[in-house]
Amino acid sequence: MRYSTYFAAVATLIPCVAAYPFMANYHNMDEAAKRDLQDLARRSAVAYSSKYPYTGAKIDGLPGTQIGNVLVPAIGDTDHEYRDPPPGAFRGPCPGLNAAANHGFLSRDGIVTFNELVAAQQNVYNVGYDLAVVLATLGVGLDGDLLTMKLSLGGDATSQTSSLGSKEGGLATHGKFEADASLTRNDYYTANGDNFSFNGTLFGYMNDECNGNFDRDCLSKYRYDRYYQSRAENGQFTFIPTALLLYGASSFLYELMPTNGGPPDLATIASFFGAKADGNGGWTHVPERIPDNWFNRATPYTGVDVVAEILAQYVANPVPFGGNVGQGNFVGLDLGPIVDGKWSPSSPRDVGCLLQQVLLAAIPSTIQGLVTTPLAALKGIGAKINPIFAQDFGCPAVAF
C-alpha cells in the first residue's frame, strides 16, 4: 500500500474514533474487522470539516452561514464523492435526499438523524434553516422516531430507528410524507405497495410536458395531469391538504436542483432523479447523483419561498381535495376553508397556516403505539415548528 493511500484510509476513520471508542485499537484488529469498520465509516454521514465547509452547517441542528453559490462536492473532498449505495442501503421516494446520501452528506446506509437532515439540506442545496428544520421535523415526526430522532430514507428500518419497537416505515410509508400522484413514483395501491421505485414512464411523461425545461409552469400543469391520471386509475386515491407538500417538492426542480444561475434542464434533472435514457425512447434508473461542476443556490430557499411556489403552482391549475370511495367515485373534502373539495387560497399565509394545522394534526395520529410516546416528544415537535410558522406567516400555535 502506498503511504498516501494508507494515510487517506486512516483519515476516513478518525471521525469515528470519538463516536466508537473501540476504534482506537484499529491497528490491532484483523483484516476482516478493519474492513467492517471501514464500511461503517463509509456509511456514516461525514462530520463537518473546516477545509470543506459548504454553507457551514455542522451536524448539530443549528444554522449555517446561509451563503451559497458553492461547488458541491468541493474539489478534493473525497468524503463527499459519489459512491453507489452500499448493499442493503435504504433509498426512497425523494431524489434529493437519495442524492445527498449517495454523496455522504447523509448516512450512506439511508438511516439518518434529524441533525443530519438539517445540515445536509443547507450544505448541499442551501435550503433555508427555517425550511430545513420544518422538513426534518416533519420527516422524523411523520415517518421516523420522535425519541431517537432517526428516520429511514426508504422502507421499514424499525430495528435501526425505533426506541420502542413501534413499526416505522420511513419516507416510503404511504399517506404521510409520501402521497398519491407523485412526479415519478407509482401510487401505493396501483403498484402492490411499491410507491418508492423510480418509474421511467412517469419521468418520460414529465419530460414530455416540460420539453426539457422543468420550470414552474410546466410542473404545475404536470401536477394537474398526474392528479387526474392517479384519480382515474386508483380506486383508493386520496388528495388531502398534506399533499400540498407535493407542490413544494415540484418547486425543488427549478429552485434547488439547477446549478446556480443555470436552467432546470434535462441533464441536470435526470442526474438528480437517477434517470438514464435506455436507447429506445424510455428511461431506466441509476443511483441519484449531484451533477458534475454543480454549484448550489446562492440565496437560501426559505419557508416563505416554498409556500409562495406552492401557491403559484396550485392556483395556476387547481384540483379538488378529497378521495375515491371505489373506482370513479370521488368524494370532495370539507375541512376548514375547503368546501366540497374546493379551495381558493389568496395569499401565502392561507397556504402556510393550513399546512401548519394539518401537518401538526397528522403527527400524533400517524404514530403507532402513541400511548407509549411521551407527550414531551410531541410538544417538542410543536416547539420546533410553531415559532417558524408564526414568524414566516403569523400563524397561531397548534397545541398537542
pLDDT tens digits, 344-379? 999 999 999 999 999 988 887 555 444 455 677 778
56, 64 Cβ separation under 8 angstroms: yes
Query: Of the candidates 63, 164, 107, which has an alpha carbon nearest to the alpha carbon of residue 374?
Result: 164
Structure confidence at residue 363 (pLDDT): 81
Centroid of chain to Cα 177: 9
Span 311-356, pLDDT tens digits? 999 999 999 999 999 999 999 999 999 999 999 999 999 999 999 9
153, 98 Cβ separation under 8 angstroms: yes
> What's the CA angle centered on 372, arms 359 and 92, to 5 degrees?
50
> Among residues of the chain, what percentage have pLDDT more than 90?
73
The model's confidence at residue 47, banded by pLDDT at 50, 70 and 90, is: confident
Distance in angstroms (rounded) separating the CA atoms of residues 356 and 348: 12
Distance in angstroms (rounded) separating the CA atoms of residues 324 and 394: 34
Distance in angstroms (rounded) separating the CA atoms of residues 250 and 47: 30
Distance in angstroms (rounded) separating the CA atoms of residues 114 and 94: 16
299 grid coordinates: 440565496
> What b/e string do you get for 132-159 counting C-beta neighbours within 10 Å, with b at 16 or more?
bbbbbbbbbbbbbbbbbbbbbbbbbbbe
For range 156-166, the mean pLDDT? 76
Structure confidence at residue 176 (pLDDT): 84
Span 216-233, pLDDT tens digits? 999 999 999 999 999 999
Centroid of chain to Cα 37: 28
13, 41 Cβ separation under 8 angstroms: yes
71-78 LR contacts (CB < 8 Å, sep 24+): 71/293, 71/294, 71/295, 72/103, 72/123, 72/124, 72/290, 72/294, 72/295, 72/296, 73/103, 73/290, 76/52, 77/49, 77/51, 77/52, 78/8
The model's confidence at residue 22, banded by pLDDT at 50, 70 and 90, is: very low
Structure confidence at residue 8 (pLDDT): 35
Span 109-135, pLDDT tens digits? 999 999 999 999 999 999 999 999 999
- 339: β partners: 342
What integer best gives the mean pLDDT of the chain? 87
Structure confidence at residue 167 (pLDDT): 74
Structure confidence at residue 48 (pLDDT): 87
pLDDT higher at 371 or 108: 108
Query: What pTM, to 2 d.p., does this model score?
Result: 0.87
Structure confidence at residue 339 (pLDDT): 98
- Residue 245, pLDDT > 80, answer yes
When the candidates are 3.40.50.1220, 1.20.1740.10, 1.10.489.10, 3.30.420.40, the CATH number that belongs to 44-393 is 1.10.489.10
Going from the C-alpha of 115 to that of each of 55, 68, 155, 180, the distances in angstroms are: 15, 20, 20, 28
Q: At what angle are helices 348-366 and 244-255 packed, to 10 degrees?
A: 120
Query: Of the candidates 240, 241, 212, 208, which has an alpha carbon nearest to the alpha carbon of residue 225?
Result: 208
Structure confidence at residue 23 (pLDDT): 31
- By three-state DSSP, how is residue 285 classified? strand
The model's confidence at residue 71, banded by pLDDT at 50, 70 and 90, is: very high
Torsion of CA 330, 333, 334, 339, to 10 degrees: -80
